Amino acid sequence: MTSNLEEPLRAKAAELLSSGKVDLLIGYGRAFLGESVRPVFLRQDADTAKLIWNDRCAHNLATYLMKEPCLGLVKGGGRVAVVAKGCDIRAIATLIQENQIERDRVHIIGMACSGVRYDEDSRDMAIKCRGCEVQLPALYDDLIGSEADTGEVEGEPREDIERILALDRSARWEFWTRELSRCIKCYACRQACPMCYCGECITEKSRPQWIDKAASLKGNIAFHYIRAMHLAGRCVACGECARACPMNIPVDLLSRFLSRRVEEAYAYKAGMDPEADPFFLVNRQDDPGEFIR
Amino acid sequence: MISKERLLDAIREAGAKDYAVFAPVAKDAGVMLEEIDDPASINFDHVLTVNTLKDVGLPRVEALAEFDRDARTMEAIRDDDGKVLVFGSRPCDAAAQKILDAILIGEITDSRYAARRERMVMMTLACSTADDACFCSSMGYGPHDPTGSDVLLLPKGTEFIVRSHTPRGEEFLRELGMTPDADVEGDPPPELKRKVETGGLKEKLDKNFDDPIWNSVSENCVSCGACFYMCPTCHCFDVIDESGLSRGRRLRLWDTCSFAGFTKMASHQPRVGRHARYRQRIMHKFKYTVDNVNLVACVGDGRCIRACPYGVDLCEVLEALVGNE
Amino acid sequence: MVKSRPRIVAFLCNWCSYAGADLAGTTRIKHRAEVRVVRVPCSGRIDPTFILKAYERGADAVIIGGCHPGDCHYVSGNLHARRRFYVLRELLGFLGIEQERFQVTWCSAAEGEKWARTVDEVCDTIERLGPLESFKSMTDYLRIPEKEISLSDE
């Protein structure tokens, strides 16, 4: 399904590239498989015909901001434009909060979004889109579309966290050992995550080896445990880790749950305000402390 | 010809004859090749299993030895389980086994892999369906190709034609009281939508190491290991010790050149940047392995294309490389 | 059959809790002996991986000890720790590990008695819960054989 936002998007992209306002534009283009979509990197306005916009544009392109060639380009004073949905923009805002990229180095092309789908067969929108609060982005340099383009997201409400919370302790552990035992440690979740930008991941450090390298149940639990901790209060629930997982593990559940708890207990939600202090960087005298004896 | 029911009986009998049976079963991750107890759970109508035969021959975690630092002892963990029947893997996966054999058994032999291969019987199920990512015929194989299979089962209606392709296959069929079928034609193989022309690729790779094309073909790549770990022929590994205060194990794990930490144990990862690491993937499969064992290390199973979260498409990359002047 | 005794690892901040535990000793307050103390500069120094490693290596519970809010030698290390451990405790519960196996206490250098009480209470709790089986099956080959750490009863 193509969208009527495709033409305005291409026009805006051509304008940005031809005027030299940006040096690189990351957007969505067509992939071979089925109706699927993949990221494209554009450097000249002639390429903008490659740009597409439809309900298959699920990828969070903000993840490329923390990788080459964007890193080098930004360091050298260049500017990068990113086609981004509301959820992706939360990731960009978090990167700005964490001083990873300067606001004026990234040109955000915000897209009014009515939900995305992961595969062509499913009629329902991706589970991450249910209950979305950022269908119309709040932070952008250009906005493509308007309130009118943010149709209601169809499908049952998302209740995967509730389903786990309804389990008793041993059933939860059983659930996680079942899911995590099949992790092969390809690190697709980490590489896809816009928030996992460490130059050297703790899993790669071996002196000392805090996290077991082996893709055994023990090593897998260690990896997902520490990934969840590192993403607590930072996860923007873009769902890229779960989408990237070749073994179909709901890897986003842990970090999403923690971010929700942080939101409930501290009234802090990642990526909603690029000026706000990151969650773990600050503290308050009246932070919750009832659990401390 | 053999009906599905009789085929399942035969597998049951193999189990009774002390074969550990690996077969495709539906799981959370999709259809997985796993050790099974009950042949009734075997899945027949998938295109490919999510995992590859590496889980049988070259597992992702393999304990090599157990040690105790205080007692100053180290003992090899032996791996001499009995016979293994791999049932229902696809012809591309069987062909991949042939490639791994050529690489891992020879002048320098991976003895653990070789021992496991020695005990393995491959009963392959020829394909009756293919998806958009399958391109085995472009790599010189095909949906009904017998390469690497001891026994090949060709679908014909609801039944299967039994073909034996190796002495081991013949022996296995005799053991189960099955007879191979001669002169019967099976259903025609499925038509593959995907085709890629790789003529002249090797010559291009011989001289394009520094070509800027590597940047453009790898732009989407985020340097995860999904394509490597899902690949039936990628076989790099790392050996680590996992230990407590005194006791521990020496493990062999999968590893991949796409990780920034690859080969760091030997000082550094020489391939800086995603393009260099992606180049290594292509070079290893389509040049170095050809140089070393005269085989292309790709069987066209398409798992890398399906697994890539960012749409890096091997066929398109190969086309771009062949077409690049 | 001998009942297995709980194994408890405590990470205590150098400036308050460790001195508090020390005070418990010098004033000869009796408390359960199943706790092993690791001294750290500040409760803010304690990384989630420390706790994970303790469980992996056979701890049945972990106690974190830090200065009372306002008393941190480094001004706010304990307040950072408070946020971190709130989140960690939630994670453990979500994974299916009893939250009682992760205890945080603010214990000053003058609170030897509080430290002793905490240790006794946590030991009782863990005895009630039993050993942390979740990690046991995965790490049998790493664990120290029971005999090597036998504690002599007085």
C-alpha distances out from residue A223 to A11, A184, B191, Å:
44, 11, 42
Q: What is the mean predicted confidence (pLDDT) over B24-39?
A: 93
Q: Are residues B113 and B149 in the same domain?
A: yes
Q: Is residue B142 part of a domain?
A: yes
Q: Are residues A75 and A198 in the same domain?
A: no
Pairwise CB contact (< 8 Å): B28 & A188 = no
Q: Are residues B24 and B86 in the same domain?
A: yes
**Of B148, B147, B145, B142, residue with least CA distance to B130:** B142
Q: Are residues B210 and B136 in the same domain?
A: no
pLDDT at C1: 43
**Of B4, B153, B139, B162, residue with least CA distance to B88:** B153
CB-based contact, A225 to chain C, within 8 Å: yes
Spatial strand order in the sheet of C102-106: C35-40, C8-13, C61-66, C102-106
Distance CA(B172)–CA(B122), nearest Å, equals 10
Q: What is the mean predicted confidence (pLDDT) over B8-32?
A: 93
Q: Are residues B74 and B222 in the same domain?
A: no
Q: Is residue B104 part of a domain?
A: yes
pLDDT at C154: 41
Q: Is residue A287 part of a domain?
A: no
Q: What is the mean predicted confidence (pLDDT) over B46-69?
A: 93
Of chain B, the end-to-end C-alpha distance in Å amounts to 51
Q: Which ranges of chain C have pLDDT less than 50?
A: 1, 153-154
pLDDT at B239: 93
Mean pLDDT score of chain A: 92
Q: Are residues B159 and B206 in the same domain?
A: no
Across A83-97, A118-132, A147-161, A195-209, which has the greatest mean pLDDT? A83-97
Pairwise CB contact (< 8 Å): B247 & C57 = no
Q: Is residue A286 part of a domain?
A: no
pLDDT in tens, B154-176: 999 999 999 999 999 999 999 99
DSSP state of B261: T
Which is it for strands B84-87 and B120-125: parallel, antiparallel or unpaired? parallel
Q: How far is B169 from chain C (nearest CA, A)?
A: 38
Give the domain-ending residue among B123, B157, B175: B175
Subunits with 3+ C-beta pairs closer than 8 A to C:
A, B
- Residue A158 tokens read as 């998302």
Nearest chain C residue to B65, by CA: C141
Contacts of A170 (CB under 8 A, 6+ apart): C96
pLDDT at A120: 66
Give the domain-ending residue among A129, A149, A169: A149
Distance CA(B180)–CA(B149), nearest Å, equals 14
Pairwise CB contact (< 8 Å): A184 & B60 = yes
Q: Which residues of A125-164 are buried (b: 16+ CB within 10 A; e: fewer)?
A: bbbbbbebebbbbebbbbbbbeeebbeebebeebeeeeeb
Pairwise CB contact (< 8 Å): A182 & B28 = yes
Q: Is residue A293 part of a domain?
A: no
Q: What residue type is assigned to position B267 of the chain?
A: S
Give the domain-ending residue among A101, A130, A149: A149
Pairwise CB contact (< 8 Å): C86 & A285 = no
Q: Are residues B171 and B219 in the same domain?
A: no
DSSP state of A154: P
Q: Is residue A201 part of a domain?
A: yes
pLDDT at C144: 55
CB-based contact, C144 to chain B, within 8 Å: yes
Q: Is residue A289 part of a domain?
A: no
Subunits with 3+ C-beta pairs closer than 8 A to A:
B, C
Q: Are residues B128 and B235 in the same domain?
A: no
- Residue A251 tokens read as 């890897």
Q: Pick from C52, C87, C105: which is nearest to A222 by CB?
A: C52
Across A154-163, B178-187, C11-20, which has the greatest mean pLDDT? C11-20
pLDDT of A1 higher than 80: no
Chain C residues 34-63 with a CB less than 8 Å from chain A: 47-49, 52-53, 56
Q: How far is C112 from chain B (nearest CA, A)?
A: 31
- Residue B76 tokens read as 């090899």
Task: List chain A residues with CB under 8 Å of C87.
Answer: 229, 232-233, 258, 261-262
Mean pLDDT score of chain B: 93
Q: How far is A244 from chain C (nearest CA, A)?
A: 22
pLDDT of B269 higher than 90: no
Q: Is residue B45 part of a domain?
A: yes
Q: What percent of chain A has pLDDT over 90?
A: 79
Q: Are residues A46 and A137 in the same domain?
A: yes
Q: Are residues B219 and B107 in the same domain?
A: no
Q: Are A87 and A36 in contact (CB under 8 A)?
A: no
Q: Residue C139 belongs to what H/E stretch?
A: helix C133-139
Q: What percent of chain B has pLDDT over 90?
A: 84
Q: Are residues A244 and A273 in the same domain?
A: yes
Q: Are residues A129 and A259 in the same domain?
A: no
Give the structural domain span for A241. Answer: 160-281
Q: Is residue A179 part of a domain?
A: yes
Q: Name which residue leads in pLDDT, B26 or C151.
A: B26
Pairwise CB contact (< 8 Å): C142 & B243 = yes
Contacts of A202 (CB under 8 A, 6+ apart): A210, A211, A226, A230, C49
Task: Report the domain count for chain A.
Answer: 2
Q: How far is A95 from chain C (nearest CA, A)?
A: 20
Q: How far is A39 from chain B (nearest CA, A)?
A: 6
pLDDT class of A12 with cuts at 50, 70, 90: very high
Q: Are residues A33 and A85 in the same domain?
A: yes
Backbone phi and psi for residue B167, each to the nearest 5 degrees, phi listed first: -55, -35
Q: Are residues B14 and B162 in the same domain?
A: yes
pLDDT in tens, A185-208: 999 999 999 999 998 899 988 888
Q: Are residues B50 and B168 in the same domain?
A: yes
Task: Report the domain count for chain B.
Answer: 2
Give the structural domain span for B47. Answer: 2-56+70-175
pLDDT at B281: 95
DSSP state of C151: -
Q: Are residues A14 and A143 in the same domain?
A: yes
Distance CA(B47)–CA(A157), nearest Å, equals 32
Task: List chain A residues with CB under 8 Å of B30.
Answer: 248
Tell me: ipTM over 0.90.
yes
Q: What residue type is assigned to position A121 of the chain?
A: D
Q: What is the mean predicted confidence (pLDDT) over B230-255?
A: 91
Nearest chain A residue to C140, by CA: A218
Give the domain-ending residue among A114, A149, A184: A149
Q: Which range has the worst mean pLDDT, A127-136, B52-61, B190-199, B274-283?
A: A127-136
- Residue B243 tokens read as 């230990």
HSE-up of residue B137 (Cα within 13 Å, Cβ side): 13
Q: What is the mean predicted confidence (pLDDT) over B251-256?
A: 94
Q: Is residue B180 part of a domain?
A: no
Task: List chain C residues with CB under 8 Å of B249.
Answer: 141
Q: Pick from A171, A254, A279: which is nearest to C94 by CB?
A: A254
Nearest chain B residue to C57, by CA: B244
Q: Are residues A30 and A120 in the same domain?
A: yes
Q: Are residues B157 and B24 in the same domain?
A: yes
Q: Are residues A142 and A13 in the same domain?
A: yes
Domains and CATH numbers, chain C: 8-136 (3.40.50)
Q: Are A115 and A161 in contact (CB under 8 A)?
A: no
Task: List chain C residues with CB under 8 Å of A283.
Answer: 76, 79-80, 82-83
